[in-house]
Amino acid sequence: MNFLPALRELVLAYQGFERYSAPHIKALGLTTTQFDVIATLGNQPPMSCKELGEKTLVTKGTLTGVLERLEVKGILERRINPEDARSQIIGLTPKGQDIFQKVFPEHLTHLGKAFGKLSADEMLQLQNSLKKLRSIF
């Protein structure tokens, strides 16, 4: 079985998504990584750095710097984890929650314009195929 054409389409689809998504996030005043962190923390209770790393698409090395910059901007706060003093709990500040409330729905609407070109059946088929691929790896 020749998987290279499918692999190529997967990579090209991801690159196309980035070209569509990233400029919109930049227009909202954020980097894609900052958006990912804010979107993950939005409307959620504070979480550990480990949990945040597992729920975002951000590597641990990158996450540290992003968290520091967002904390300096007053968008998130870090506190000692009451259950484990060796770790921190991270959550959005009121300013960060306001940013989330503004940018998250705007970006979902932007993405919805592209994903709306797929039928419900196509969307389900795509989701199932991607889940299967992920489970294989």
Residues 16-69: pLDDT tens digits? 999 999 999 999 999 999 999 999 999 899 999 889 999 997 888 889 899 999
Q: How far is CA 132 from CA 24, 52, 129, in A?
A: 30, 24, 5
Q: Is residue 60 part of a domain?
A: yes
Q: What is the per-residue pLDDT across 79-125, written as a single tens digit (0 to 9) for each?
A: 998 888 888 999 999 999 999 999 999 999 999 999 999 999 999 99
Q: Is residue 126 part of a domain?
A: no
Cβ atoms of residues 33 and 60 within 8 Å: no
Q: Residue 49 belongs to a domain with what CATH number? A: 1.10.10.10
For residue 84, give the 3-state DSSP assignment: strand
Q: Is residue 20 part of a domain?
A: no
Q: Is residue 67 part of a domain?
A: yes
Q: Is residue 114 part of a domain?
A: no
Compute the distance between CA of residue 83 and CA of residue 115 in angstroms, rounded to an integer: 41
Q: Is residue 6 part of a domain?
A: no
List Cβ neighbours of 20 (8 Å cut-off, separation of 6 or more).
111, 114
pLDDT of residue 60: 81
Q: What is the pTM of this model?
A: 0.88
